[in-house]
Amino acid sequence: MTSPFPVFDEPSNSEKMDMIVTEAKCNECGEILPPHTVRRHIDKDDIIHKCPHIEKRSMTPIDKLVLKIVNLKTQGGGKEHYLPIKEISGVRVDCVQIYVQIQVEPQDRDRLPHRKDILLKIDTDYLPHSIYAEWFDFTKETAKETIQNIIELIKNLKLDKTTNYLRDKRIEVPEQIMSPQDIYDLFACENVKLEFNECCVCHEITNSYFRECKHTICFVCCSKLTIENDCVNCPMCRNEACVCSVSGDRDDTLLDTY
């Protein structure tokens, strides 16, 4: 009888030898060795076992990050690496992570072509949606290039106040015949409700507002407000609004969008 569940082949001996060993200690000095393959681990003459472990010190920061992601991928995916970044483009971010996708088997790639390997995801306690998310391919051949591209991308992200999403400022956005400001100038009145409004602080067009009092405020201006006891005061009415945890209910964030 044919099993209803897919049967996956065991990794070959060659694949096992290429798996990454981490947190291994040197028997002589007790120092934790840099990540390395099983093949190198069992070769007692490999330089990885020689004290002092110069190789670890000579690794560049980007090499270490690549090895970290490779290690997560080797463990089967479904894990994330958090980057200690607290501000991008002048606004507060609360969670910048590189998420490693659960491995997609070769026979499933044609069926799930949208499934890539790693996800760059940026969240904030202020908004109910991620302010940036993009999938990247991550293979042995492209690993370092992919991480370099992600690092440069993060450095070049800029907030679009109208949508409250981060975008790559290196990519030129086609000029629109009518901007959101033009539409606001034409239709703003009590009888018409638009998908955006003027920020009560900087008066630029944005699509976010306080959940509590409904006053419009852009993410940039809101992130500059003083937080006391996880709460801020609306600049218009002085009502108090609380900042939720990014891991909590996304329907209860400080701001909402039209």
Strand-pair partners of 119: 99, 135
**What pLDDT, on the 0 to 100 scale, is given for residue 252?**
54
Task: Write out pLDDT tens, residues 150-175.
Answer: 999 999 999 888 888 899 999 887 77
d(CA 177, CA 38): 59
Of 8-12, 30-34, 35-39, 181-185, where does mean pLDDT reach its minimum?
8-12
Determine the 3-state secondary structure of 17 from DSSP: helix
**What is the percent of the chain where pLDDT is above 70?**
77
Confidence band for 56, pLDDT divided at 50, 70 and 90: low
Burial-class residue 255 by CB neighbours within 10 Å (0-12, 13-18, 19+): buried
Residue 8, pLDDT score: 43
Tell me what pLDDT residue 149 has: 93
For residues 235-257, give the mean pLDDT: 60
**Of residues 155, 115, 151, the one with CA closest to residue 136:** 115
Give the pLDDT band of residue 186 (cuts 50, 70, 90).
confident
Q: Are 182 and 196 in contact (CB under 8 A)?
A: no
Q: How confident is the prediction for the chain on average, in pLDDT? A: 76
Q: Where are the domains of the chain?
A: 14-59, 180-257
Report the C-alpha gap between 251 and 170 in whole angstroms. Answer: 32
Asked whether 146 and 118 are in contact (CB, 8 A), the reply is yes
- pTM for this predicted structure: 0.64
Query: pLDDT at position 246, please?
Result: 36
Contacts of 207 (CB under 8 A, 6+ apart): 162, 163, 164, 195, 196, 197, 257, 258
Angstrom distance (rounded) from CA 59 to CA 55: 6
pLDDT score, position 215: 85
Give the pLDDT confidence score for residue 53 in this predicted structure: 59
pLDDT at 147 over 80: yes
Q: What is the pLDDT of residue 162?
A: 81
Please tell me the predicted confidence (pLDDT) of residue 71.
75
Q: Most confidently modeled of 110-119, 166-175, 189-198?
A: 166-175
pLDDT grade, residue 148 (50/70/90)? very high
pLDDT in tens, 21-49: 877 888 777 777 778 788 888 887 777 77
**What Cα–Cα distance (Å) separates residue 185 from each residue in 200, 205, 214?**
16, 10, 20
pLDDT beyond 80 at 193: no
* pLDDT of the residue at 113: 44
